[in-house]
């Protein structure tokens, strides 16, 4: 379709794909940023990162008129989204009941995919991983969570954090190193992981 209106609207909506409709453009934006955004909010110890991430992406979409960059410039979109997320995270923390907002806070929720056959060892292992990630320095914790959730490439993580790709890779490596050391020292180390 090459009508003037299509050509005209494709760029400002989202340059992910020239022929996207608005719904498709929104979906593409959300698909692109969902994983790293949730991870970043977890890294910031936001109590409900998924909710806040959904709010942030909705805010990004609704406020797109004020965005002056190019939608295919991940650095520009990432910076814009980071600012929105930061403001929402701050509001979320303010309104949330005061209490520990660490990564363990979500323990009370039902585990997706948890079933009766899940072994106690696996649960304990997951708990220990969560605790170990929680103990990482903030910059490493944030990066590892951003990369881990949906296998987000380091380039996009870097765009959202406003740092270089190499920095992301460096932090990720150090984080995994620290996690391996922490978890490896424990007597209940998971043999499957040890072999990997």
Restricted to residues 36-55, the positions that interact with other proteins (CB under 8 A) are 38, 42, 44-45, 49-51, 53-55
Q: Name, in order, each residue with C-beta under 8 angstroms of 100's C-beta and a sequence gap of 6 or more.
A: none
C-alpha distances (whole Å) from 76 to each of 71, 154, 161 are 8, 16, 11
**From CA 82, how far away is CA 73, in angstroms rounded?**
14
The correct pick among 31, 118, 121, 186 for binding other proteins (CB under 8 A) is 31
What does the alpha-carbon distance between residue 149 and residue 147 come to, in Å, rounded to a whole number? Answer: 6
Interaction with other proteins in 103-122: which residues (CB under 8 A)?
103, 106-107, 109-114
Q: How far is the CB of 119 from other proteins (least distance, A)?
A: 13
Residues of this chain, 56-95, that bind other proteins according to CB under 8 A: 57-58, 61-66, 68-73, 76, 83, 86-87, 90-91, 93-94
Contact indicator for 77, 88 with CB cutoff of 8 Å = no
Cα end-to-end span (Å), the chain: 50
Binders in 1-30 for other proteins, by CB under 8 A: 5-13, 15, 21-23, 26-27, 30
Interface with other proteins, residue 100, by CB under 8 A: yes
Residue located via tokens 């022929």: 19
Give the C-alpha separation, 39 to 150, whole Å: 9
Q: How far is CA 1 from CA 8, 16, 152, in A?
A: 12, 17, 32
Number of residues forming the site for other proteins (CB under 8 A): 94
Tell whether residue 32 is a contact of other proteins (CB under 8 A). no
171 lies in the binding site for other proteins (CB under 8 A): yes
Is 186 a residue that touches other proteins (CB under 8 A)?
Answer: no
How near is the Cβ of 120 to other proteins at its closest, in Å?
15
- Closest Cα partner for 49 from 142, 132, 179? 142
Q: Is 125 in the site for other proteins (CB under 8 A)?
A: yes
Compare residues 148 and 155 and give the one whose CB is closer to other proteins. Answer: 148
Residue 57 CB, shortest distance to other proteins, in Å, is 5
Report the nearest approach of other proteins to the CB of residue 111 (Å).
4
Q: Is the dihedral of CA 69, 74, 78, 79 positive or negative?
A: negative
The least CB distance from residue 116 to other proteins, in Å, is 16
């Amino acid at each position: 379709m090459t009508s003037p209106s299509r050509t005209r609207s494709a760029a400002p909506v989202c340059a992910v794909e020239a022929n996207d409709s608005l719904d498709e453009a929104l979906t593409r934006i959300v698909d692109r940023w969902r994983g790293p955004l949730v991870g970043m909010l977890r890294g910031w110890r936001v109590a409900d990162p998924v909710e806040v991430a959904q709010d942030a992406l909705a805010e990004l979409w609704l406020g797109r008129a004020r965005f002056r960059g190019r939608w295919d410039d991940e650095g520009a979109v990432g910076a814009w989204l980071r600012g929105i997320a930061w403001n929402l995270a701050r509001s979320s923390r303010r309104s949330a009941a005061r209490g520990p907002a660490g990564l363990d806070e979500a323990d009370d929720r039902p585990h997706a995919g948890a079933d009766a056959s899940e072994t106690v060892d696996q649960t304990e292992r997951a708990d220990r991983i969560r605790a170990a990630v929680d103990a990482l320095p903030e910059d490493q914790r944030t990066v590892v969570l951003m990369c881990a959730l949906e296998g987000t490439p380091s380039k996009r993580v870097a765009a959202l954090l406003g740092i270089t790709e190499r920095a992301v890779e460096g932090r990720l490596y150090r984080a995994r190193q620290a996690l391996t050391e922490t978890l490896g020292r424990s007597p209940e180390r998971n043999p499957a992981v040890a072999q990997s």
